Chain A
Amino acid sequence: MKAFSYDRAGSVNEALQLAARPDAKFIAGGTNLLDLMKLGIEAPVHLVDINRLGLDTIEPTAEGGLRIGALVRNADLAADMRIRRDYAVLARALVSGASGQLRNKATTAGNLLQRTRCPYFYNTDMPCNKRRPGSGCAAIGGLSHNLGVLGISDACIATHPSDMAVALRVLDATVEIAGARGAARTVPMADFHRLPGETPHLETALREGEMIVAVTLPPPMGGTQIYRKVRERASYAFATVSVALVAREGRIERVAFGGLAPKPWRVDANGSAGEVADAALAGARPTPDNGYKLDLARRTLAAALADAVRLEAGR
């Protein structure tokens, strides 16, 4: 690991000042950043510890939603009764991710900003446009069974690995961002993650030195909320395909997919599961290795809707 300076910030302002230095990074739970620093994929010169800023509460908003502090741990968010009752798709997505130990450390902001699990991104001997812009993409023409089929480009076909983000997308959450030059701004989840295009190393709307301070949920939308995740083992693995679904009276109201694209993939379509899947997958560009994801996405959506119908019948 490259040497770095370490500072524990005492306030958001102090954190922003410290992060205004070149090559500074915030550290929250550290579960993604330290992993990547050990491999030399991330090499910050300054680390700014933001764990003691008091951004770890979940507060009601005037509109009737909830404002989730950036440092709220994934385990605490999933355990919050308001989340479990009114935003069940989020609680379900959170507990489907990582392990008990990791969820105790992983934070709301860190989870959104976690980087891809593309095997070539992790292998520093291989070309990767995301890790080293302009070096090429080893996944295209390489082993790509776990990579993306939607929203990808000729420069990068990686997926975003977060489960939580897929649920936040379906719930229309917004990300609250603070910068050193004062004015806070909010970015809807729809615009937070970027598509790779020619610049896969630019992943989000966050600018240099900016910090996520909170994620806000709009008032509860009701419906029956499902998160269904398919992975290569029963637990403790990233999604091959996942579906975040809000259904009402057996019909799809909102849906987003994980595991298919560089960002949570929301589909604005309604009708039967088949029709929604058709609309979602119309522009898909599978590789020879990952065409199975199209069928799997279809079946997972149908199964998620069946889950919803069963849940509604049981009420």
Chain B
Amino acid sequence: MSDLFVTLRINGTDHALSLDPRVTLLDALREHLHFTGTKKGCDQGQCGACTVLVNGRRINSCLTLAVMHEGDEIQTIEGLGTPEHLHPMQQAFLERDGYQCGYCTPGQIMSAVAVLDEIERGVPSHVTHDIGAPPPLSDEEVRERMSGNLCRCSAYPNIIAAIRDVSGGAA
């Protein structure tokens, strides 16, 4: 079937594309627009390597179609910081050694930024003991909320430490 025209707004810039409707947001980013910071791990929503922010909320870009995102604000790791001006979360991952091979890292960082925002907005999690109260900013909360991002190198302790540095808490 024929391609569709779609304009994707990525990191504040519009990109006009003609796409087969089957193209996922992940493949549009990587293969069509060469934003290769966003990674493909499982392509099934199981690993989190493809995490991006859409209208400020984290999603798995492998389980959504690009044509569904006309008009949305999409943010990738490339839009978070630059090598000269790292985002505080990127800086913290560097300082805490929050990775080994680095493949999962862009997804981890995008997710981590969203996790702190979700806690701030009061979104509960599975480990929120009092579901009616605002969730605390704790290691336990951060760990649970990061469970959608797998790390084959198992850099988990340092990832949590990095996120806690940015959140101003103890690791």
Contact = CB atoms under 8 A, between A and B. Distances in A.
B68 A100 contact: no
A266 interface: no
Interface centre among B121, B124, B132 (most CB of A within 10 A): B124
B51 A101 contact: yes
A79 to B, nearest CB: 5
A101 B1 contact: no
Given A4-B1, A35-B44, A100-B115, A236 B67 contact: no
A104 B45 CA distance: 12
A28 to B, nearest CB: 10
B65 A101 contact: no
Interface in A80-109: 81, 84-85, 88, 91-92, 95-96, 98-102, 104-105
Nearest to A105: B59
Contacts of B70: 8
Given A79-B121, A84-B132, A235-B126, A104 B57 contact: yes
A85 B147 CA distance: 26
B58 A104 contact: yes
A1 interface: yes
Contacts of B115: 100
A91 B59 CA distance: 20
Interface string A52-94: 0000000000000000000000010011010011001001100
A105 B24 CA distance: 14
A6 B51 CA distance: 24
A51 interface: yes
A85 B132 CA distance: 6
A75 B149 CA distance: 17
Contact of B131 (A3, A34, A88, A235): A88
Interface residues of B, number: 39
Contacts of B4: 6
Interface in A84-140: 84-85, 88, 91-92, 95-96, 98-102, 104-105
B147 A236 contact: yes
B60 A78 contact: no
A30 B123 contact: no
B68 A104 contact: no
A270 interface: no
A207 B44 CA distance: 28
B32 interface: no
Given A85-B132, A100-B111, A105 B63 contact: yes
A31 interface: yes
A3 B2 CA distance: 9
Given A34-B65, A51-B68, A84 B124 contact: yes
Nearest to B64: A30
Nearest to A49: B68
A27 B63 CA distance: 11
A30 B64 CA distance: 6
Contacts of B51: 101
5 contacts: A8-B68, A79-B123, A100-B125, A101-B111, A105-B59
Interface of B: 1, 4, 20-22, 24, 43-45, 48, 51, 57-60, 63-65, 67-68, 70, 111, 114-115, 118, 121-126, 128, 131-132, 144-145, 147-149
Closest 5 A/B residue pairs (Cβ): A99-B148, A235-B147, A6-B21, A236-B147, A79-B123
Given A27-B68, A92-B131, 15 more contacts: A4-B21, A5-B1, A29-B64, A34-B24, A35-B63, A49-B68, A51-B68, A99-B149, A100-B58, A100-B114, A101-B59, A105-B59, A105-B60, A105-B63, A234-B144
